[in-house]
Chain A
Amino acid sequence: MHAPHSEFAIEARNIVKRFEGEAAVDGIDLTIEKGSIFGILGPNGAGKTTTLRMLLGIIDPDEGERFLLGSPEPISMAHQVGYLPEERGLYPSMKAFDAIAFMGALRGLPLAEGRKRGRAMMEDHGLSDAADKQIRQLSKGMAQTVQLLGTLVHGPDLIILDEPFSGLDALNQGKLERLIRAQADKGVTVIFSTHVIAHAERLCEEIAIIADGKIPFKGKVSTARDRLRPQVHLETRNIDGPWRAAIPADCKPLGHHWHFTLPESGVEPLLNALVEGGAGIESLSIERPGLHDAFVQIAGEATARKMDADAANNNGDESA
């Protein structure tokens, strides 16, 4: 066993998990720095939840090793960790503030302190009227918020959220994004899995793309985007002229509109050639590729389509 590095909240080396002989997670290496917001992106069934469960010690990997906050026994670090599973659950007969306190007590927070903090947190989130209500009396959104507060009540150093945006309406998704940022501002490491690229793009400094139990990409969001060249959208008055030499030969116009990948030489030489060559520029925009484009390039078209479908289904569930 290798010694863990103290700067990492998570370290996983070649972890493998098989169910019925089939690899759900197939040799993943993952390091996540402390104090960052880290996203794990992938469609349903890609191995996100299994990976998180192994990292948390809920299940053990068949091969490889993992360290949570430097410990090879993740459960021993539970007091410093908050976890929101994909399948939300609370005791229906518990009062809301008691449920928060109970979740804190599981992770070492004295019950009385947990109750005090629970009430205060609910007040901060505009839910003070619901504090004494039983969970079964709360709306789905409120119950999810209660569970999220229960994940944070003991003041963890590391928060792991499995599909935290799933089932939330747009308003609550926004609230959750703000809450994640607030935790990160306090120096807490936040790791979340999602199949909605936009959330990862807005929140994360680093991401890991997971597909078929493997991680084809892990790094900064900007690095993922930089794998693709920027796209140029150009509208000209003229159709022909010396300036055409600056445009890739295989680019065909759509009327007076041109779409092509920015040449390796960059923006300035292109602009000079267009102006000096008399293109008659009506409009010019250079778009940096989004994370979605990078995802398609990294994980493949099929995986990207599956993830889009998952996200659409999720939205469908919310509106239903």
Chain B
Amino acid sequence: MIETIRAAFVIARRDFTAIIFSKSFFFFLLGPLFPIGIIIVAGGLGSQVARDIDNPVIGVALNPAESEILLTTRTRLSSSLGSKSLPELVILNDFSGDEADIIAKLDREKSLNAILSGSLAKPVLTGSERDVSKWKGKITLLAETALSQPAPVEIKTRFVSQTGSSSERDRLMTAQGGQAILILLTMILAGMVLSNLVEEKTNKIIEILAAAIPMDAIFLGKLFAMLGMALVGIAVWTTVGLSITLLVGFNWNAVPSPAVGWPMFGLLMVLYFSMAYLLLGSLFLGIGAMATTVREVQTLSMPVTMGQLLVFFLAYSSITKLGEPAEWFAVLFPFSSPFAMIARAAQMDNIWQHGLALIWQALFTMVIIRFSVMLFRRNVMKSGQAARKKSLFARVTGK
């Protein structure tokens, strides 16, 4: 065992330094900037589109006095409902309000979605069926409020620190947030392990390694090197993220506290990420080890990603079912266990269950590594061209 760990360390050190001191690692660190950039751009475009679609302008063709009252009412209501919840109103001066004129104006002026004519007591809203159906209620509210002209009501407010339902809801949010981060990181990083043994196989180093150290040590070393690289990346991203939140003055008190407390939750996030990484990574390493070319690894990537998604959906769907059979299944099924357990850490305050879960996950990682090693030794380490030319399926199944 000591020799296996020593040998794993030799492999891990070689892989870790080879990755960390390569130019591509810089681009790896920049990786999260791309999805963040895409989110910002997509969000900007989306809100622009939403503004264009959901903020219609309605022309007001009432008599001047009623038009003014309606505008004043809108201004007053929007202070409590929000300006985006009410349509923009534009007074149409010197406008007859005849049906033919209204239709012509709507056809001519693209900025107008509908025209309100008639009087406040008997308003007529003309426009497309979609717009009229959508805004009829709001226009009715405006007209009724304008007609009654009530004085603004001042509501006094009183806050309590927390209610039972809000605490549960908050922790659920933390559970979702923690799990989402864990899933995202695992999804980004664990797949990279898939191609990890291809270098050794294409450069024909694998036989030197296999003759010198236990195969388990090769697999373990590769996993720990990639885990180390992932943790370096996460440390950099977390530091940058925290610096940005400090710079913009983000209010951390507004983030709901997990049941086990923040320090323990942070520690469990690191531990469960490591276990999720090792579990999925050992499986991917085992699958990837059967591949002999980069093309085969690329072919494997898609089903592997789909498999990951299934595991994530299993864990995600169990968050709200604490203690139910579905949630227990997600806790016990090794691949979803880390994700289900981080959700538990946010919602339940007992610590001992995490110790058990971590041991269970570590044991299963060892089982997968042993199984992968067995497959690798049996089906890949053969001499001769015939063995190398066999299909990936034949190599996995040993047929």
Chain A residues within CB distance 8 Å of chain B? 19, 24, 45, 49-50, 53, 56-60, 75-76, 78, 81, 83, 85-93, 102-103, 105-108, 111
Verify B204–A87 contact, CB threshold 8 A.
yes
Q: B207 — which chain A residues lie within 8 A by C-beta?
A: 53, 58, 85, 87, 89
Verify A85–B208 contact, CB threshold 8 A.
yes
Verify A58–B14 contact, CB threshold 8 A.
no
Verify B383–A24 contact, CB threshold 8 A.
yes
Verify B10–A105 contact, CB threshold 8 A.
yes
B14 contact from A24, A91, A107, Cβ within 8 A: A91
Verify A91–B205 contact, CB threshold 8 A.
yes
Chain B residues within CB distance 8 Å of chain A? 3, 6-7, 10, 14, 18, 22, 199-200, 203-214, 377, 381-384, 386-387
Q: Taking A53-B383, A91-B205 as contacts, is the C-beta distance between A83 and B211 under 8 angstroms?
A: yes
Quote the shortest CB–CB distance from A261 to chain B (angstroms): 39
Verify B203–A91 contact, CB threshold 8 A.
yes
B205 contact from A53, A56, A90, Cβ within 8 A: A90
Q: B200 — which chain A residues lie within 8 A by C-beta?
A: 89
The CA of A81 and the CA of B213, in the complex, are separated in Å by 11
**Ordered nearest first, which 3 A-B pairs have the shortest CB separation?**
A89-B204, A106-B212, A49-B383
Residue of A nearest to B212 (CB): A106
The CA of A19 and the CA of B386, in the complex, are separated in Å by 10
A sample of 23 inter-chain contacts (CB < 8 A) reads: A19-B382, A19-B387, A24-B384, A50-B382, A50-B383, A58-B207, A59-B377, A59-B381, A59-B382, A75-B214, A76-B3, A78-B212, A86-B383, A88-B204, A90-B203, A102-B14, A103-B208, A105-B10, A106-B7, A106-B10, A106-B209, A106-B213, A108-B6
Q: B199 — which chain A residues lie within 8 A by C-beta?
A: 91
The CA of A92 and the CA of B381, in the complex, are separated in Å by 22
Quote the shortest CB–CB distance from B148 to chain A (angstroms): 80
Verify A78–B213 contact, CB threshold 8 A.
yes
Q: A78 — which chain B residues lie within 8 A by C-beta?
A: 211-213
Q: A56 — which chain B residues lie within 8 A by C-beta?
A: 211
Verify A83–B18 contact, CB threshold 8 A.
no
Q: A87 — which chain B residues lie within 8 A by C-beta?
A: 204, 207
The CA of A93 and the CA of B209, in the complex, are separated in Å by 17
Q: B210 — which chain A residues lie within 8 A by C-beta?
A: 58
Q: Taking A19-B382, A58-B381, A91-B14 as contacts, is the C-beta distance between A83 and B204 under 8 angstroms?
A: no
Quote the shortest CB–CB distance from A117 to chain B (angstroms): 16
Besides A59-B377, A81-B211, 17 new A-B residue pairs in contact (Cβ under 8 A), listed by A number: A19-B382, A45-B384, A49-B383, A50-B383, A58-B207, A58-B210, A58-B381, A78-B211, A78-B213, A83-B212, A85-B204, A89-B204, A90-B203, A93-B18, A102-B10, A106-B10, A106-B209
Verify A60–B377 contact, CB threshold 8 A.
yes
Residue of A nearest to B10 (CB): A105
The CA of A56 and the CA of B211, in the complex, are separated in Å by 6
Verify A89–B387 contact, CB threshold 8 A.
no
Residue of A nearest to B213 (CB): A106
Verify A85–B10 contact, CB threshold 8 A.
no
The CA of A154 and the CA of B180, in the complex, are separated in Å by 49
Q: A92 — which chain B residues lie within 8 A by C-beta?
A: 203
Quote the shortest CB–CB distance from A58 to chain B (angstroms): 5
Quote the shortest CB–CB distance from B6 to chain A (angstroms): 8
Residue of B nearest to A89 (CB): B204
Verify B203–A89 contact, CB threshold 8 A.
yes
Quote the shortest CB–CB distance from B200 to chain A (angstroms): 8
Verify A106–B208 contact, CB threshold 8 A.
yes
Residue of A nearest to B6 (CB): A108
Residue of B nearest to A87 (CB): B204
Quote the shortest CB–CB distance from A306 to chain B (angstroms): 15
The CA of A85 and the CA of B210, in the complex, are separated in Å by 11
Q: A93 — which chain B residues lie within 8 A by C-beta?
A: 18, 22
Residue of B nearest to A57 (CB): B211
Q: B206 — which chain A residues lie within 8 A by C-beta?
A: 89
Q: A57 — which chain B residues lie within 8 A by C-beta?
A: 211
The CA of A106 and the CA of B212, in the complex, are separated in Å by 6
Q: A49 — which chain B residues lie within 8 A by C-beta?
A: 383-384
Quote the shortest CB–CB distance from B394 to chain A (angstroms): 9
Quote the shortest CB–CB distance from B34 to chain A (angstroms): 26
The CA of A82 and the CA of B392, in the complex, are separated in Å by 31
The CA of A45 and the CA of B18, in the complex, are separated in Å by 36
Q: A102 — which chain B residues lie within 8 A by C-beta?
A: 10, 14
Quote the shortest CB–CB distance from B172 to chain A (angstroms): 48
Quote the shortest CB–CB distance from B93 to chain A (angstroms): 76
The CA of A88 and the CA of B206, in the complex, are separated in Å by 10
Q: A85 — which chain B residues lie within 8 A by C-beta?
A: 204, 207-208, 211
The CA of A252 and the CA of B114, in the complex, are separated in Å by 122
Residue of B nearest to A51 (CB): B383
Verify A89–B208 contact, CB threshold 8 A.
yes
Q: B14 — which chain A residues lie within 8 A by C-beta?
A: 91, 102
The CA of A102 and the CA of B212, in the complex, are separated in Å by 11
The CA of A26 and the CA of B235, in the complex, are separated in Å by 55
The CA of A93 and the CA of B203, in the complex, are separated in Å by 11
Quote the shortest CB–CB distance from A88 to chain B (angstroms): 7
Quote the shortest CB–CB distance from A54 to chain B (angstroms): 10
The CA of A117 and the CA of B287, in the complex, are separated in Å by 38
Verify A83–B10 contact, CB threshold 8 A.
no
Q: B203 — which chain A residues lie within 8 A by C-beta?
A: 89-92
The CA of A268 and the CA of B131, in the complex, are separated in Å by 124
Residue of B nearest to A50 (CB): B383
Q: A107 — which chain B residues lie within 8 A by C-beta?
A: 212
The CA of A43 and the CA of B22, in the complex, are separated in Å by 43
The CA of A76 and the CA of B7, in the complex, are separated in Å by 12
Quote the shortest CB–CB distance from A144 to chain B (angstroms): 12
Residue of A nearest to B4 (CB): A75
Quote the shortest CB–CB distance from A289 to chain B (angstroms): 32
The CA of A58 and the CA of B380, in the complex, are separated in Å by 11
Q: B205 — which chain A residues lie within 8 A by C-beta?
A: 89-91
The CA of A81 and the CA of B211, in the complex, are separated in Å by 9
Q: A19 — which chain B residues lie within 8 A by C-beta?
A: 382, 384, 386-387
Quote the shortest CB–CB distance from A86 to chain B (angstroms): 8
Verify B383–A83 contact, CB threshold 8 A.
no
Residue of B nearest to A85 (CB): B207
Q: B7 — which chain A residues lie within 8 A by C-beta?
A: 106
The CA of A57 and the CA of B6, in the complex, are separated in Å by 19
Q: B382 — which chain A residues lie within 8 A by C-beta?
A: 19, 50, 59
Quote the shortest CB–CB distance from A217 to chain B (angstroms): 22
Residue of A nearest to B382 (CB): A19
Q: A91 — which chain B residues lie within 8 A by C-beta?
A: 14, 18, 199, 203, 205
